[in-house]
A and B are shown apart, each in its own frame.
Chain A
């Protein structure tokens, strides 16, 4: 757990600024996407999800944007706070009723919030 995150791309953001974390996915058949937040030594926490019939979805302080044309997903965090410091993962899946959810995870981006 403590070693998770070595060699990850890192985004440094000042407290109060907006953060944008990007993710490129590979499977053009993927139609369900999730963002997770993982703090050091802990399991991933769900942040927000989006289906491919949408290109934008908003939550509390977070927005996910989906561009299926270029297979790109982004997570925007408004007014970034120190508690947002963590590793963020995107995950993709193909919705297929009857089969287990086999999410494919990206490698993650570390967000560092500076004071």
Chain B
């Protein structure tokens, strides 16, 4: 089955710790995205990538980092600089990253602070 796989489903972070969220897709999509979702709010864009080895900041990139070494993979690191990391994190992909494309989402990772 083609799709987007996020892992883990639940993740806990200690103070001062960096954690990495995994996102893998086998849809052969060029573009990948990371969104953050907080209760009562819409999805907010953290980072996006249209091509391997290139990525751009979204609206709330501070405290996060990404890499795109392979087309299939777009991991997100939540660094200790992100002071309010508790949220539901969603990875998505689209065919080319054009403005008229729908995004396909993974099932999300819930990150909580211990």
| Interface residue ranges, A against B (CB under 8 Å) | 1-8, 32, 34, 36, 41-46, 49, 51, 89, 93-108
- Total contacting residues, chain B, CB less than 8 A: 34
**Assembled-state Cα–Cα distance A8/B107 (Å):** 21
Return chain A residues, CB-CB under 8 Å to B6: 43
Known contacts being A43-B90, A100-B48, A102-B48, is A3 close to B99, with CB within 8 Å? no
Find out whether the CB atom of B99 lies under 8 angstroms from the CB atom of A96.
yes
Find out whether the CB atom of B39 lies under 8 angstroms from the CB atom of A7.
yes
Give the contacts of B45-103 with A (CB-CB under 8 A).
45, 48, 50, 56, 58, 88, 90, 92, 94, 97-103
Return chain B residues, CB-CB under 8 Å to A89: 42-43
**Assembled-state Cα–Cα distance A96/B96 (Å):** 12
**Assembled-state Cα–Cα distance A62/B90 (Å):** 25
Q: A5-B39, A95-B99, A97-B99 are in contact. List 7 more A-B contacts (CB 8 A).
A: A1-B108, A6-B40, A7-B40, A32-B99, A41-B108, A43-B4, A101-B97
